[in-house]
Amino acid sequence: MPAAYHDALRRAVAARLGIADGYYDIAGTRHPTKPETLDHLTAAWGAPVGTEGEAADSLGRLIDRDRARWLPPTAVVTAEPAGIAVPVRLPTDRLGSWLAWTVELEDGGSLTGGVAVDALVRLPSSGGGRLDTSLTLPDLPLGYHRVRLEMAGRTASAHLIVAPLRAFPVDEVIGEQRVWGVLTQLYGLRGIADDGHGRLTHLDALSDRVGALGGAFVGVNPLHARFPADAGLVSPYNPSSRRFYDPLYADLYRLPELAGEIRPTATDAAIVDYPAVYARFAADLARAFTRFTATADAERRADFAAFVEAGGEPLHRFALFHALHADRIADGAPPDWRDWPAELRTPDGPRVAAFAETHGTAIDRHRFAQWVVDRQLMQSAAHARGTGLALGLYADLAVGVAPWCADAWADPALFVPTLSIGAPPDPFSPTGQVWGLSPYHPETLAQTGYAAFVATIRAAMRPAGVVRIDHVLGLVRQFWVPDGATAEYGTYVAQPFEAMLRIIALESVRNRCCVVGEDLGTVPDGLRDAMAAVGMLGCCVLPFERVGGDALFTRASAYRKAAVVSASTHDLPTLRGFWEGRDIDWREGLGLFPDSGQADAERATRRADKVKLLAALKDAGLWEGDPEADATLPFGPGLLVQIHRFLARTPSRLLAIQFEDLAGDAEQANLPGTLHGHPSWRRRPTRPIDTVFDDPAVHFLLKAIAVDRIDPTSTV
């Protein structure tokens, strides 16, 4: 009985924190949350349940906290014609009292008013001597405000975010058109001004070519800041910060300080040599910054000063961290700041302050780098639209940050420690995944008005016409795994979905940026309906669009309209790689299959999938041969064209074409589940931009797609 009581307390605490008691995987199998997982997650949250006494204390604190609140830490509401409805929880003994309210508006103004408690709209009560009500405020502008309540000498205040009902609609830009664009890994692009790593100069060149052929967007990998002092940390999906950009994408030779100098070239490099690239960039940056401080004109100095002032403390802490990070690594210290001495693990300590005093130039150099990449990125965004790309840049927002990142060092309370975001088992990863990304602390987010989340969304949307939110499922619930454990020990934790969805809609409207949610995997019930209600597009990826027990490919006409359709992604093989089984070869060569027979089984399945794909093309009138026999043919331009024509005929609003497919490459950008052995996030396409777009076969492909997007019955 005592053990059962302790377990009941443990699960009651977990429930209040949104930690699931268990979950169903994509096959419908239930996985109860392990007791040791509950213990780890609740302790990391600050509500330990390891003993019966700890569990009772934690539960009591959580109950008392909720009872004491009149308002949620942040109220995120929609702008309704009938007024703004703010949830308020009051003691039942306050009936008959007068409740005064004040709203401090984002622009500095304020509104005041009051209402009798008895006149408040009653909501279903949670009991416990509390009265759940709704306070109706007058029409308020969209934005980030504060609300303050006063009653009988007591006060309460909260952040108040007023959001639109819907995000910025894609129809506002493209009407009823179905458009296409090209996605690429910017770091890998090669062409003019090539020193072994893609720059914004290459993005401009790609925009020129895609815009000239009638495309509507050019998409890139996340441009979040990585780790310049640790060249081994190259994944754009495991960044140092999502609030700042990676200056490595800036072209320093576009600056007046380096104008006329001869840039190093490395056009033939097949793999990005990050140590060499970072070393060249650091030398160029130091030279440019020294000349800037000595020779920059008043206008550029003023713009830099305004950028630093607008960046404020977050920019200072980001620059301070990276200066300190580089200094520590140069001294032989570990790159993970969590392994540093305690006095260096916080930006507020005297030792860090002393470092800042003596390393001001290094810190300013990081601010300067951020200024340069920010301004060049906005110029590239304007350039993209100027080429005729209706939607401009299609940006990508990673799902999280590395636990040893600048964001976590600058404000550790923002993240739940000793945990990683991951994913449960699914056909793509039968044993589940652990991504090594730190989750936001939902309570801290709410207490701070979601400021960090707002800044992250805003940074992604500022230069973009479209933003893809990686693993949008994580807005509803995230799969948390204790550090050092496998996905078997993970479970879902509820997230403030409604709040984050509304913030995304608000920033979308403010930045005139459409939103795409990557909704692949184990999709929570109701997510796609919620996405549709707010005007967010989903994702349809050819290998996953199947029907029936035989897993036949879905007919083009049955694809979702409110979606981006593509043949592949950065985590999947290219079309040629799929056809040739290159991903299977890699996994076999790296010993990633549990037994020797699985590779052969995978190849047999792949051959069957090739037959099914050709059958789908034949059904659509795009293939004349025999699917069974033709599955043995080598991959060629004809198959590339017909697969994309099939996708072009879907009702999906956006069609995204992988640059690697246009280049005819067999290798994929990232091979999930590998840390070593495969050059993930380092590959460069085999052909430069101009060579690809000067290819008559590519011209034919893109013109055929453009026709099919307008008329799905075309016989071009």
Domain-embedded: residue 36: yes
Question: How many other C-beta atoms can be found within 10 angstroms of the C-beta atom of residue 631?
Answer: 19
Give the domain CATH number at 100.
2.60.40.10
For the record, the structure tokens of 352 come out as 């860090």
Among the candidates 147, 163, 179, a domain finishes at 163
Examine the domain organization and report whether 102 and 151 are in the same domain: yes
Identify whether 139 is part of a domain.
Answer: yes
Q: Which of 108, 138, 163 is the last residue of a domain?
A: 163
Measured between alpha carbons, how far is 165 from 345 in angstroms, rounded to an integer?
A: 41
Q: Are residues 43 and 113 in the same domain?
A: no
Q: Which of 140, 163, 186 is the last residue of a domain?
A: 163
Please name which of 612, 599, 630, 617 lies closest in space to residue 551, comparing C-alpha atoms.
612
Residues across the chain: 716
Report residue 16 as tokens: 């209040």
The answer to whether 214 and 247 have CB atoms below 8 angstroms apart is no
Distance CA 2, CA 52 (A): 8
Distance of alpha carbon 70 from alpha carbon 89, whole angstroms: 5
- String of DSSP letters for 501-533: HHHHHHHHHHHT-EEEE---SSPPTTHHHHHHH
Low-confidence residues of the chain: pLDDT under 50: none
Angle (CA) 198-203-207 rounded to 5° is 155
CB 524 within 8 A of CB 546: no
Residue 256 lies in a domain: no
One domain, residues 85 and 119: yes
| Assigned domain for 667 exists | no
Q: Coil, strand or helix: which one is 254? A: helix
Q: How far apart are CA 691 and CA 674, in angstroms?
A: 31
Return d(Cα 604, Cα 587) in angstroms, integer.
15
Residue 195: predicted pLDDT: 87
93-112 pLDDT, tens digit each: 878 899 999 999 999 999 99
**Measured between alpha carbons, how far is 56 from 619 in angstroms, rounded to an integer?**
63
Annotate 319-361 with DSSP letters as a single string. Answer: HHHHHHHHHHHHTT--S-GGGS-GGGSSTTSHHHHHHHHH-HH
User: Residue 652: which region, alpha, beta or left (left: phi > 0; alpha: psi -120 to 50)?
Assistant: beta
What is the tens place of the pLDDT at every residue in 23-63? 988 778 899 999 999 999 999 999 999 999 999 999 999 99
Q: Are residues 53 and 95 in the same domain?
A: no
Is there a single domain that holds both residue 101 and residue 153?
yes
Lookup result for tokens 């190259």: 234
Q: Are residues 50 and 21 in the same domain?
A: yes
Alpha-carbon dihedral angle through residues 379, 383, 384, 390, given to the nearest 10 degrees:
110
Residues 99, 149: contact at Cβ < 8 Å? yes
Structure tokens at 441: 């602390």
The confidence score (pLDDT) of residue 467 equals 98
Residue 132 lies in a domain: yes
Beta-carbon neighbour count of residue 301 at 10 Å? 12
- Name the region of 450 (left: φ>0; alpha: ψ -120 to 50; beta: rest): left
Strand (E) or helix (H) holding 539: strand 538-541
Same-domain pairing of 19 and 58 = yes
Do 154 and 91 sit in the same domain of this protein? yes
- Position 33 in a domain: yes
Per the structure, the count of domains in the chain is 2
Element of type H or E holding 480: strand 477-482
Residue 107 lies in a domain: yes
Tell me, yes or no, whether 59 and 130 share the same domain. no
Supply the range of the domain harboring residue 98.
80-163
Cα 635 to chain centroid, rounded: 33
Contact 240, 226 (CB under 8 A): yes
d(CA 80, CA 164): 8
- Distance (Å, rounded) from C-alpha 685 to C-alpha 384? 21
Whether 115 is covered by a domain: the verdict is yes
- In terms of domains, do 11 and 54 share one? yes
**32 and 100 housed in the same domain:** no
User: DSSP states of 401-458 as a string?
Assistant: B-TTSHHHHH-GGGB-TTEEEEE--BTTBTT-EEEEEBPB-HHHHHHTTTHHHHHHHH
Q: Could you tell me if 151 and 111 lie in one domain?
A: yes
